[in-house]
Chains A and B, each alone.
Chain A
Amino acid sequence: MSRAHGILAEYPTPAAAMAAAVRVRDAGYSRWDVHTPFPVHGMDEAMGLKNSPVGWFTFLGGLSGYTGGMLMIWFMNAYHYDIVVGGKPLFSGFYAFPVCYELTILLGAFGSILGMLILNRLPRWHHPLLSNLRFAQVTHDKFFLVIECDDVKYDEARARALLQAGADHIEMVEDD
């Protein structure tokens, strides 16, 4: 049984897609996206996108890398199995720092990748847009705007009217 995923509008130019994005943004929709063959300057502002929250995942990853590294080195060298090296103290933030610094970067990078995957709801096997024949042109020369049906503001007639100006074609996308 197929179910509607959303409404798809095709535009011939970046400008037409951008104008439509501004209208959809101002109408207050939340579950929608623009798909273009190349990055379009100014599209982020036209869509009202804010700075990505991925940075928070990076920060938390880095923080746990640093503290985890310090704890690990302290536990191993000063608590669980004491080793005196070169007459230095059993634990010092100085000799532990290079390793913790590397761990900060490593877990920071892991945090970024994980944050990106989580926020994009990846990985997934399939996306309804990928079985739409018209949408295949997104990697060629067409510009698309999709409003999903589970948007709280969604109403087919109103969405269709909003997307109409400048569009070559509007159709429903089925989720099968």
Chain B
Amino acid sequence: MSAHATAAAHAHAEDHVPTMWERLPWMAAALGFLGCLAGYVFEGPKNFAHAYLVAFMFFLSLGLGAFFLVVIHHLFDAYWSVPTRRFLEHLACLLPWMALFFLPIGLLSGDLYYWMNVDPAKDHSLAVKQVLFNKATWGVASAALFGIWWLWTHRLRGWSLRQDETGAAECTTAMRRWAASGIFVFAFSLTAAAIFWMKSLEHQFFSTMYGVYYFAGSVWMTLATAYAIALLLRRSGRVPMMGQEQFHSLAKLLFAFTVFYAYIHFSQYFLIWNAAMPEETFWYAKREQGTWAIVGWVIILGHFVLPFLVLLRIDAKLSTKVVIPIFVWVWLMHHLDLQFNIMPLVQPEGPAFLISTLGALLFIGGLLAALFLWDLRRHPAFPLKDPRMGEVVRH
């Protein structure tokens, strides 16, 4: 059956006529590119760079979250997640492509990272953090992160695809090895990315929770996306064993990360509020100016309270009428959360609409969607010969 399915998948990829849905990402990317150009010209490089960084960190979340889910699938030796693993591997393999989208950030780094234009001798907070915050370290670390992500995500998917052909148990062993090292690589690389690209926008700030804060939001957003993709794959009939167990488990994880995010963000705020030290409080004080104070409340109620109450019930977790609006909401909230982190630097009075914001989202999102669909087309839609597939079908 599986050899036949592989051949069918290949044949399917060769004489493929793109449908409207497959052209859509390219059209979005083209439109987004024009939006980015317009934003750069009319809104200025500084505004554009910050709005673009929000979109970049937004889609980076998706790759990192998928990388995490693939790794924990192997570490926990779970059977329920076998049907979801292949598309998560594809999402994780988008990470090295993010290097391409990083170019504008590298080129405009002077507009983004204030400390790059400051003499450390005249700024004590920069002088003490100079080990980390200097142009050479920033550049080398940024390049190394993409290299690391390329290696791990492609090894994990490579062994998975090899198992489709051979069905050998050694592939599972190899994936477990990459996952065991991968969990450490994931934790350190995600934290480094969050610190170098987002937290260093305000180099004076201290928070030991910052990496895990970005992690919590990233996996949250990835789980909603994964649920949506799993629904589409079941509707298309390409992954017939995708069923209630997969949807229920994904929704339970989404619920868990709703709580985890709230726990992390509250802890960060609570510690800073309680200690009341100026080198930490300035970060939140800045985010209580103008309409940013309202955004803070929208994040508390919309990022936590609303999805928490809605996803509490088991029937809600399985109802497409409930979860589909929640996915859209999760994307909006994660984007708003990243705006809350990045945009006060250029919009101190409160969030305002920028063409750059929409342009960057469409540009990066469109190209990533096209890449993802291409991966989905040219490979089997689920791990064909995974040793645990029998359990998935039986349960």
> Which 6 pairs across A and B sit closest by C-beta, in order of nearness?
A94-B273, A51-B314, A94-B270, A95-B274, A97-B270, A97-B266
Cα distance A10–B266 when bound, in Å? 56
Q: Is the CB of B315 within 8 A of A86?
A: no
Q: Is the CB of A51 within 8 A of B273?
A: no
Within the complex, what minimum Cβ distance (angstroms) separates B330 from chain A? 23
Counting chain A residues whose Cβ lies within 8 A of the other chain, the interface size class is: under 10
**Chain A neighbourhood of B269, CB < 8 A:** 94
B-binding residues in A (CB < 8 A):
51, 55, 59, 86-87, 94-95, 97-98
Is residue B276 within 8 Å, beta carbon to beta carbon, of the partner chain?
A: yes
A-binding residues in B (CB < 8 A):
266, 269-270, 273-274, 276, 312-315
Within the complex, what minimum Cβ distance (angstroms) separates A74 from chain B? 17
Complex: chain A residue closest to B395, CB-CB: A41
Complex: chain A residue closest to B270, CB-CB: A94
**Chain A neighbourhood of B315, CB < 8 A:** 51
Q: Is the CB of B270 within 8 A of A86?
A: no
Q: Is the CB of B273 within 8 A of A86?
A: no
Cα distance A86–B274 when bound, in Å? 9
Counting residue pairs across A and B whose Cβ atoms lie within 8 Å, the total is 17
**Chain A neighbourhood of B274, CB < 8 A:** 86, 94-95
Cα distance A51–B276 when bound, in Å? 47
**Chain B neighbourhood of A59, CB < 8 A:** 312
Cα distance A17–B269 when bound, in Å? 56
Cα distance A42–B99 when bound, in Å? 49
Q: Is the CB of A86 within 8 A of B276?
A: yes
Within the complex, what minimum Cβ distance (angstroms) separates A154 from chain B? 31
**Chain A neighbourhood of B313, CB < 8 A:** 55
Complex: chain B residue closest to A87, CB-CB: B276
Cα distance A87–B270 when bound, in Å? 15
**Chain A neighbourhood of B266, CB < 8 A:** 97
**Chain A neighbourhood of B276, CB < 8 A:** 86-87
Extra contacts, 15 of them, besides A86-B274, A94-B269 (Cβ < 8 A), are: A51-B314, A51-B315, A55-B313, A59-B312, A86-B276, A87-B276, A94-B270, A94-B273, A94-B274, A95-B270, A95-B273, A95-B274, A97-B266, A97-B270, A98-B270
Complex: chain A residue closest to B267, CB-CB: A98
Complex: chain A residue closest to B276, CB-CB: A86
Residue contacts A-B, CB under 8 angstroms, 17 given = A51-B314, A51-B315, A55-B313, A59-B312, A86-B274, A86-B276, A87-B276, A94-B269, A94-B270, A94-B273, A94-B274, A95-B270, A95-B273, A95-B274, A97-B266, A97-B270, A98-B270
**Chain B neighbourhood of A98, CB < 8 A:** 270
Complex: chain B residue closest to A86, CB-CB: B276
Cα distance A87–B269 when bound, in Å? 17
Complex: chain A residue closest to B273, CB-CB: A94
**Chain B neighbourhood of A55, CB < 8 A:** 313
**Chain A neighbourhood of B312, CB < 8 A:** 59
**Chain B neighbourhood of A86, CB < 8 A:** 274, 276
Cα distance A87–B313 when bound, in Å? 42
Within the complex, what minimum Cβ distance (angstroms) separates A115 from chain B? 15
**Chain B neighbourhood of A51, CB < 8 A:** 314-315
Cα distance A86–B273 when bound, in Å? 11
Cα distance A59–B270 when bound, in Å? 25
Within the complex, what minimum Cβ distance (angstroms) separates B91 from chain A? 32
Within the complex, what minimum Cβ distance (angstroms) separates A53 from chain B? 12
Cα distance A51–B313 when bound, in Å? 10
Within the complex, what minimum Cβ distance (angstroms) separates A94 from chain B? 5
**Chain B neighbourhood of A97, CB < 8 A:** 266, 270
**Chain B neighbourhood of A95, CB < 8 A:** 270, 273-274
Cα distance A55–B317 when bound, in Å? 15
Complex: chain B residue closest to A51, CB-CB: B314
Cα distance A94–B269 when bound, in Å? 9
Complex: chain A residue closest to B266, CB-CB: A97
Within the complex, what minimum Cβ distance (angstroms) separates A62 from chain B? 10
Cα distance A129–B274 when bound, in Å? 59
Complex: chain B residue closest to A58, CB-CB: B312
